[in-house]
């Protein structure tokens, strides 16, 4: 079959037609448990009535007018996000890569404001920040950069979760202006740093006059058990980027800034035609309100713990399990051998999972997943891992 879609993805042989909470149904009516949420997007699950209501009533009123005019929903969303994050202001865009582009532009202007001609940003090995040229240059993955030279200059890669490496890099690169880092690396394999990592980076940034810029595109919106992952550490970043779950499937990205970082972008320095339009902002307002009123970040914390414990109990004597890592409902189950084939096997068994870094099963279930679904997830996945280890 020839397709008119550019082949940028190897797609699994299934097409979904409807969803409800953590369930999805395909064209043949087969039901699947979604433990991936469209890659950490549908944190409130599928067909959430609050989101449906928000976007359907907004679409009956007004979809788009552009940022040449005031936008009520955008104002409200900025207020709510500032309130929830303790950040000062927000630039709205349409994706995670775009949110990071805004952060990178802030860092560069910040550097030029101090007469640094070629400002550098410290970024991490195994990181993922997006597919645009600037964000793939920042990304610490050679496969993603392959074939796209010349890359954007001004990024210095250091190992993740390695404070001495950051200090050494800063000595070598005196024109550094910012550190851009994911609180937990998602695409890189669900890599969770030591407890005080962000706090230490915060101190380093304060001592060296650098911006701490957190890419919370995947970890944000309740995923890790707090609304934003930095809230586990009682620190504040200077810049924080969001996207994925912010609109629960309606595309929206945001770049939040605070203090000296908040007044760097001025009229004419950045923009977006669609960014922060009434439809996307109405969806995000409903997402934020639902996350808070249903205490979904707290639920993510407890549910993540339950999945971790359940899998550990079932796989106690399994020799193919290396370890299980999690924070809230962001889970990585690392096996000793590559296990990409488990994605297709899980699909056959009615379960949607993902594998990153070749041997790490990644689970990102909707925060609304219920007890029965959690048990089904543990049972199905543990059985698949058992079979995998007996091969």
Active site (catalytic) residues:
128, 215, 244
Binding characters for ligand PLP, 155-184, by CB under 6 A (x = yes): ---------------------------x--
Beta-strand relationship, 176-181 and 120-124:
parallel
Q: Is 101 in the site for ligand PLP (CB under 6 A)?
A: no
Residues 38-57 that bind ligand PLP (CB under 6 A): none
The Cα 142–Cα 315 span in angstroms is: 34
Q: Rg of the Cα trace of the chain? A: 21
Minimum gap (Å) between residue 128 Cβ and ligand PLP: 5
Coil, strand, or helix at residue 313? helix
Q: How many residues bind ligand PLP (CB under 6 A)?
A: 15
Applying CB under 6 A, the span of 89-97, 317-325, 326-334, 360-368 interacting with ligand PLP comes to 89-97
Look at the block and give the residue holding tokens 């880092």: 181
Q: Give the one residue of 19, 38, 45, 96 binding ligand PLP; rule: CB under 6 A.
A: 96
Minimum gap (Å) between residue 3 Cβ and ligand PLP: 21
Q: Give the one residue of 95, 248, 282, 359 binding ligand PLP; rule: CB under 6 A.
A: 95
Q: Calculate the CA dihedral of residues 19, 22, 23, 27 and round it to 10 degrees.
A: 50
Binding characters for ligand PLP, 215-254, by CB under 6 A (x = yes): x-xx------------------------xx----------
Q: Give the one residue of 23, 91, 110, 128 binding ligand PLP; rule: CB under 6 A.
A: 128
Q: Give the one residue of 97, 124, 166, 177 binding ligand PLP; rule: CB under 6 A.
A: 97
The Cα 324–Cα 332 span in angstroms is: 6
Strand ranges across the sheet with 354-356: 321-327, 330-335, 360-363, 354-356
The Cα 382–Cα 305 span in angstroms is: 16
Give the number of other CB atoms < 10 A from CB of residue 207: 10
Beta carbons of 99 and 242 less than 8 angstroms apart:
yes
Binding characters for ligand PLP, 183-222, by CB under 6 A (x = yes): ---xx---------------------------x-xx----
Nearest alpha-carbon partner for 249 in 26, 381, 114, 52: 52
Residue with Cβ nearer ligand PLP (100 or 248): 100
Question: Applying CB under 6 A, which residues contact ligand PLP?
Answer: 95-97, 100, 128-130, 182, 186-187, 215, 217-218, 243-244
């Amino acid at each position: 079959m020839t397709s008119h879609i550019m082949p940028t993805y190897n797609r699994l042989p299934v097409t979904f037609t409807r969803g409800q909470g953590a369930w999805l149904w395909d064209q043949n009516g087969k039901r699947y448990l979604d433990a991936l949420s469209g890659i950490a997007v549908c944190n409130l699950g599928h067909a959430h009535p609050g989101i449906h209501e928000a976007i359907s009533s907004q679409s009956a009123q007004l979809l788009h007018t552009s940022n040449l005019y005031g936008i009520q929903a955008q104002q409200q969303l900025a207020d709510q996000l500032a309130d929830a994050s303790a950040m000062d202001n927000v630039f709205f865009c349409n994706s995670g890569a775009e949110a990071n582009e805004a952060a990178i532009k802030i860092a560069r202007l910040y550097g030029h404001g101090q007469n640094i001609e070629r400002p550098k940003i410290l970024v991490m090995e195994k990181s993922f920040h997006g597919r645009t040229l600037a964000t793939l240059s920042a990304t610490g993955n050679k496969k993603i950069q392959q074939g796209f030279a010349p890359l954007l200059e001004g990024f210095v890669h250091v190992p993740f979760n390695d404070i001495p490496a950051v200090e050494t890099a800063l000595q070598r690169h005196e024109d550094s202006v910012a550190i851009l880092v994911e609180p937990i690396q998602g695409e890189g394999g669900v890599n969770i740093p030591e407890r005080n990592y962000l706090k230490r980076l915060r101190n380093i940034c304060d001592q060296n006059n650098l911006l701490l810029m957190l890419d919370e595109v995947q970890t944000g919106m309740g995923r890790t058990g707090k609304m934003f992952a930095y809230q586990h550490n009682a620190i504040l970043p200077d810049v924080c980027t969001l996207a994925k779950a912010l609109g629960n499937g309606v595309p929206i990205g945001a770049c939040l800034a605070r203090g000296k970082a908040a007044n760097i972008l001025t009229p004419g320095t950045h923009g977006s035609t669609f960014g922060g339009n009434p439809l996307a902002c109405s969806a995000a307002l409903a997402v934020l309100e639902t996350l808070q009123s249903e205490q979904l970040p707290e639920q993510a914390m407890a549910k993540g713990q339950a999945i971790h414990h359940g899998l550990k109990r079932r796989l106690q004597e399994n020799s193919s399990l290396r370890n299980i890592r999690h924070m809230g409902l962001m889970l990585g189950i690392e096996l000793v051998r590559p296990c990409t084939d488990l994605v297709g096997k899980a699909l056959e068994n009615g379960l949607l999972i993902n594998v990153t870094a070749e041997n790490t099963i990644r689970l990102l279930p909707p925060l609304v997943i219920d007890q029965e679904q959690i048990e089904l997830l543990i049972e199905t996945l543990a059985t698949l891992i058992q079979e995998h280890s007996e091969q």
